[in-house]
Structure formats: C-alpha cells, structure tokens
C-alpha cells in the first residue's frame, strides 16, 4: 500500500449530521451532503462523519451509508468515518463496507476506528446482543480489520470483497492515552477527540510522538486534533451560535439528549457555576468569534499543539449560518498560511 504523506497543517470537517429542533434526519443528511460539497469548493482536506446510536440529534448512525450519499455529490475531498466504533461490528463487515466505498471512490476513503460504543448501554446491547465484543479486544480487531485490506494471497480462504488490496487510510481515534499508544505501536495516524474531551490531549500527543514506530502505512507520526469552531460576522453572533452546542452538551451530561437546540442569547448568564465549569472544561478546545478571533485562535492552537491537521466541527442550528462559519474558517486558514 502507498504510505501516507506528511504535509503542512490541514483543515478538515467533522460532521455529526445534526438534527435540529423542528427538523428531521432526512434534512440533516441532505445538509450533510451540501456541507461536504461546500467544504470541497473551499479547500478543506477531508470530510468525516461519526457513528452514534440512539441519539435523536445525530443522523449518521449508519455511517458508511451516509458517506455513500455524501460521496455521490463530491469529487475530490477525502471522505471517511471519524469514526466507526469497532466493538459494535465484525471487522470483516467494516472492511467490506469501506472497501465498497473505496471501490466506488478510489483514493478518497478514510476509516477512523474507535473503541467506545458511541451509544448508551441499551443501544450497545441491541447491536451486539451479548456484549461479548468489547473494547478489550480492540487492538486485535484493528489488526484483523487491517489485514482484510492487504492484497489477497493465492488460496486465501476468507477475503473482504470489495476490500482486499484497496487503499483505505486507517486511523486510530481516541480521547485518552490508550489510543495514542495503539496508534504509535501500529504506525497509524492518530486523531484525538479534543473537541469534547481535551483533558489528556497534550499527554496523548506526547506519548504518540515519542513511541511511534514507522510502518508501511506511515513513515512519521501524524496528529489530527478535534476543534469546535463557531465563526460569524461578529464575536457576539458567534457566541450566540455556540450556545446550541453548549445546550446540547449540557443536556447530554444531564441525561436528557435531544435534537440540536436553537441558539439562545447570553446563554452563559443562565448557567450555575457547576454547569459553566463543566462546559468550559469539556469545550476548552473551541474557537468562537468573528474573523479576526478565528484567525488568531487557529494560529495559537496549532502553535501550542503542533497539530498536523485540525478536524473542525460546528454544531450550528441554522444550516446557512453553519456554511458561513466554515467559509470564515477557510478564509482565516488562508490568512494564517499566507503569513507563515
């Protein structure tokens, strides 16, 4: 297989296909395709969707199916899962699904792999029935999955068709040091979920870079970090848009997940100290503001982390405002690159 190519800092999109209050999953998936097409024209490097189950505010549960819908409307942008929660699936099935995508859209498919269930316990049991598969077997499942993308040997009894011999870029995802160690050991690129779990970000990056072993897939460590970016014409408007994510995250932590709420003016003023501290900690890797604040925020975050790539997500209630946010981000990134 062709090794990955290390490059300067790239900007990519993570889309949770948010289902806004008053809308439905069909519209969320149509918005997802529209966002991917838009991101492609603005020079974003990748577009990823994430697997979540039993969550009425996220429409990307059938991740490979949703990506096929998105892929049909794009031509050049890389597409992938950020990620597939491997304990929910047999590795062969995932190899076949993403092998199918790679056969249809060659040279464009990524496969980010996580070991969390991406759901609650009830949904996990419904998917796996016995819970016999869990995070403890994640390293073995990853190795098995990667083997299905190798060229088939003569007489090989079990193959992924499509899948065998196809170039699918595999990533390890994580929100702790566990994934960092596994990615380093296997010589795979590493994506850290700093957009919602930043506590161990710096430690995980250091472990990954220090322990990285070159592989046929990757010659040097490559780190992608999740960042929330909410951009608008003014700092105040960006902060108002950000309140949708704040509300959704607080609702999730309080055990009442729902659709993406409409933004609220001065939402932080309504929070008690505990709720505010929780949001500040969980969403610490967020850049919220007008064009200038976004530009300096990008510059500072990359300088602090040395990230090779940023995976940007924006849970914005209004789809037009979300497109505008990514446009401002693209302009800010061009300004940062020009000044480098």
DSSP secondary structure string, 18-76?
B-BTT--HHHHHHHHHHHHHHHHHTT-SEEEE----S-TTB--SSHHHHHHHHHTT-SS
With bands split at pLDDT 50, 70 and 90, how would you rate the model's confidence at 8?
low
How confident is the model at residue 134, as a pLDDT?
57
How confident is the model at residue 336, as a pLDDT?
87
For residue 162, whether the previous peptide bond is cis, meaning omega lies within 30 degrees of 0, is: yes
pLDDT digits (tens, 9 = 90+) for 162-191: 999 999 999 999 999 999 999 999 999 999
Q: Can you tell me the distance from the alpha carbon of 286 to that of 20, in angstroms, rounded to the nearest whole number? A: 21
How confident is the model at residue 116, as a pLDDT?
78
With bands split at pLDDT 50, 70 and 90, how would you rate the model's confidence at 126?
confident
- The answer on pLDDT for 208 being more than 60 is yes
With bands split at pLDDT 50, 70 and 90, how would you rate the model's confidence at 40?
very high
Residue from 223, 238, 241, 239 nearest 302 by CA: 223
Domains of the chain: 10-339 (3.20.20.30)
How confident is the model at residue 118, as a pLDDT?
54
Q: Which residue has the higher pLDDT, 117 or 301?
A: 301
Question: CA torsion 212→214→215→219, rounded to 10°?
Answer: 120
When pLDDT is averaged across residues 92-109 and rounded to a whole number, the result is 97
With bands split at pLDDT 50, 70 and 90, how would you rate the model's confidence at 135?
low
Q: Can you tell me the distance from the alpha carbon of 299 to that of 297, in angstroms, rounded to the nearest whole number? A: 5
When pLDDT is averaged across residues 257-285 and rounded to a whole number, the result is 96
Q: What's the mean per-residue pLDDT of the chain?
A: 93
How confident is the model at residue 337, as a pLDDT?
84
DSSP H/E element including 13? strand 10-15
When pLDDT is averaged across residues 38-45 and rounded to a whole number, the result is 97
How confident is the model at residue 3, as a pLDDT?
40
How confident is the model at residue 131, as a pLDDT?
52
């Amino acid at each position: 297989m062709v090794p990955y190519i290390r490059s300067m800092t790239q900007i990519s999109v993570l889309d949770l296909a948010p289902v806004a209050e008053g809308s439905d999953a069909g519209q969320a998936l149509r918005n997802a395709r529209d966002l991917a097409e838009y991101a492609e024209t603005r020079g974003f490097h990748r577009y990823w969707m994430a697997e979540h189950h039993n969550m009425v505010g996220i429409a990307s549960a059938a991740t490979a199916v949703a990506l096929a819908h998105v892929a049909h409307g794009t031509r050049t942008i890389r597409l992938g899962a950020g990620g597939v929660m491997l304990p929910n699936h047999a590795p062969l099935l995932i190899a076949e699904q993403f092998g199918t995508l790679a056969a249809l859209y060659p040279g464009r498919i990524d496969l980010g792999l996580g070991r969390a269930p991406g759901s609650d316990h009830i949904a996990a049991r419904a998917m796996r029935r016995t819970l016999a598969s869990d995070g403890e077997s994640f390293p073995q499942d990853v190795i098995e999955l990667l083997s299905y993308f190798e060229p088939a040997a003569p007489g090989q009894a079990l193959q992924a068709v499509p899948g065998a011999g196809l170039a699918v870029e595999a990533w390890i995802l994580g929100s702790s040091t566990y994934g960092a160690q596994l990615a380093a050991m296997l010589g795979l690129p590493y994506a850290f979920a700093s957009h919602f779990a930043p506590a161990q970000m710096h430690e995980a990056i250091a472990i990954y870079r220090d322990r990285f072993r070159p592989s046929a897939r990757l010659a040097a460590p490559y780190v992608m970090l999740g960042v929330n970016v909410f951009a608008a014409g003014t700092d105040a408007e960006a902060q108002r848009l950000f309140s949708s994510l704040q509300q959704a995250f607080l609702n999730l932590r309080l055990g009442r997940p729902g659709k993406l709420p409409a933004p609220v003016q001065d939402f932080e003023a309504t929070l008690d100290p505990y709720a505010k501290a929780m949001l500040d900690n969980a969403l610490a890797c967020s850049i919220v503001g007008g064009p200038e604040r976004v530009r300096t925020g990008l510059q500072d975050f990359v300088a602090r982390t040395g990230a090779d790539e940023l995976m940007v997500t924006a849970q914005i209630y209004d789809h037009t405002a979300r497109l505008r946010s990514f446009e401002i981000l693209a302009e800010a990134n061009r300004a940062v690159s020009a000044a480098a």
